[in-house]
Amino acid sequence: MAKAKSGPLARRPDNSAFKQQRLPAWSPMLTANTVLPFFYFMAVICLLLGIWLLLTVQSVQEIRMDYTDSGACAHCHDLRKNVSNAALICTCKLYFHVDRPLKGDVFFYYGLQNFHQNLRRYMDSRDDAQMVGRKTNLKKPSSYCKPFATNDKGLPIAPCGAVANSIFNDSFKFQYLGSGSSDEPVPLWRKGISWYTDKNIKYRNPQMDNLSLAEVFHGTAPPPYWHRPVYELQTHDAINNGFINEDLIVWMREAAFPNFKKLYGILQRTNKPFESGLPKGNYSVEITYNFPVQYFRGRKQVVLTTLNWFGGPNKFLPIAYLITSCLVLLAAIGLTVVCKE
């Protein structure tokens, strides 16, 4: 206490609400009048949400096709079993039929199963400083990238690390076979498939300084499994090349679980007959089969979906809400019975 007091009450503690533990306070209690209405309210809310979500999700369509070793792709699968054949190009075609037209935006994904992008050492094996375009890191990748930091000749690898090295490098040509036999390519947006922040902040090419991209990357080596260096990923489009190539960006955003899908393209709805989505009919996907999955017993898929506001053909969410609602309702009824007794 700052000022010295005297008298018989000199050392008497202050009479403040804080010190006397008499702070004004709200002491809520669980009573039947609060808990039961809350339970019923929660049950109703969950029920309504569940029903709404379920209705929404009904309209979503999904086509999922495994092409790992099916049909025409079987020979490519066998070819990729041998590493020495890595340079050989193998393509195969996947045919499928759309019964109901996919209305609205249609998204083209590739899916991988049993591919562990979430291993700790795998996820660490990247250099974000390099990929944000820092020149020092370009030439001297982080030691986390090992063993994909430098190649046999000691050249720094750009982009370094296991994540970039293992990029999914199958490519797809999506074709509409129409009702007749005329093949018509289905146009896909191959840009705008990554997060805005990734595209514009997290991944940057090194400063050009009036050099070409190839010159900037001079003195670096591509990751060992890559067929092309990073500056040739999309040669005809400067803002989709190098580190800001969207396929690379999509791949670099590691999946949390071993089974995942990644966006490959979005249907361009500018021209007929795709203005309102994918019309029904026969389609084919021509796959350049590069990515070997047999090493880890993985599977590869092509996924076509439409979307609703909460994304994807996700039946779990509405069902979970409905079940929760039922359980809460049961609990509420049980509690009411107990209370009444």
Partner 1 sequence: MNEKWMNVRVGDIIKLENNQFVAADLLLLSSSEPHGLCYIETAELDGSTNMKVRQSVSVTSELGDPNNLAQFNGEVVCEPPNNKLDRFRGMLYWREKKYTLTNQNMLLRGCVLRNTEACYGLVIFAGPDTKLMQNSGRTKFKRTSIDRLMNTLVLWIFAFLVCMGIVLAVGNAVWEREVGTLFQHYLPWDPSVNGFLFSAVRTFWSYVIILNTVVPISLYVSVEVIRLGHSYFINWDQLMFCSKCNTAAEARTTTLSEELGQVEYIFSDKTGTLTQNIMSFKKCSINGHSYGEVADPLGPQPKVSIPNLKISNPDFCFYDDTLLESVKVGDSHTQEFFRLLSLCHTIMSEEKSEGELVYKAQSPDESALVTAARNFGFVFRSRTLGTITTTEMGRTVTYTLLAILDFNNARKRMSVIVRNPEGRIRLYCKGADTVLLQRLRPCKQDLINITSDHLNEYAADGLRTLALAYRDLTEEQWEMWSESHQCADKEEDLLSAAYEQIEQDMTLLGGTAIEDKLQEGVPETIALLSLANIKTWIVTGDKQETAVNIGYSCKMLTDDMTQVFIISGHNGEREEVVEGCGEVCFMKFKGAGKQSQCPPSNRMDNISGDFALIINGHSLAHALEADMEEEFITTACACKAVICCRVTPLQKAQVVELVKKYKRAVTLAIGDGANDVSMIKSAHIGVGISGQEGIQAVLASDYSFSQFRFLQRLLLVHGRWSYLRMCRFLCYFFYKNFAFTMVHFWFGFFCGFSAQTVYDQFFITLYNIVYTSLPVLAMGIFDQDVPDQRSLEYPKLYEPGQFNLLFNKKEFFICIAQGIYTSVVLFFVPYAILANASQSNGEPLTDYQTFAVTTATALVIVVSVQISLDTGFWTIFNHVFVWGSLGCYFTIMFAVHSQTLFSSFPNHFHFVGSAQSTLLQPVVWLTIALATVICIVPVLAFRFLKLDLKPQLSDTVRKTRTLTSGRLGARGGSRRSGYAFAHQEGFGELITSGKNMRLSSLALASFASRHSSSWIDTLRRKKHAHTPPSRWRAVRLVHLLLLTLSCCN
Nearest distance, CB of residue 123 and partner 1, angstroms:
7
Q: Which is nearer to partner 1, 69 or 178 (CB)?
A: 69
Distance CA 138, CA 156 (A): 7
**Residues linked to residue 60 through DSSP beta bridges, in sequence order:** none
Q: What is the DSSP string of 197-217?
A: HIIIII--PPP-TT--HHHHT
Q: Six-digit token pair at 207?
A: 């400063």
Nearest distance, CB of residue 247 and partner 1, angstroms:
13
Q: Which is nearer to partner 1, 32 or 208 (CB)?
A: 32
Nearest distance, CB of residue 279 and partner 1, angstroms:
20
Q: Which is nearer to partner 1, 35 or 65 (CB)?
A: 35
Nearest distance, CB of residue 235 and partner 1, angstroms:
25
Q: Which is nearer to partner 1, 12 or 153 (CB)?
A: 12
Distance CA 143, CA 133 (A): 17
Q: Which is nearer to partner 1, 219 or 334 (CB)?
A: 334
Nearest distance, CB of residue 171 and partner 1, angstroms:
19
The torsion angles phi and psi of 13, rounded to 5 degrees, stand at -65, 150
Q: Which is nearer to partner 1, 93 or 189 (CB)?
A: 189
Is 157 within 8 Å of 149 (Cβ atoms)? yes
Q: Which is nearer to partner 1, 142 or 282 (CB)?
A: 142
Q: Compute CA 169 distance to the chain's CA centroid, rounded to the nearest angstrom.
A: 17
Nearest distance, CB of residue 292 and partner 1, angstroms:
7
- Which three-class secondary structure state does DSSP give residue 10? coil
Ranges of beta strands (E only) in 164-251 are 171-178, 184-185, 188-189
Nearest distance, CB of residue 47 and partner 1, angstroms:
12
Amino acid 257 reads F
Q: Which is nearer to partner 1, 177 or 317 (CB)?
A: 317
Kind of pairing between the strands at 171-178 and 281-288: antiparallel
Distance CA 242, CA 263 (A): 19
- List all residues 6 or more positions away from 169 whose beta carbon is below 8 Å from its beta carbon: 225, 226, 227, 290, 291
Nearest distance, CB of residue 120 and partner 1, angstroms:
4
- List all residues 6 or more positions away from 167 whose beta carbon is below 8 Å from its beta carbon: 223, 225, 226, 247, 248, 251
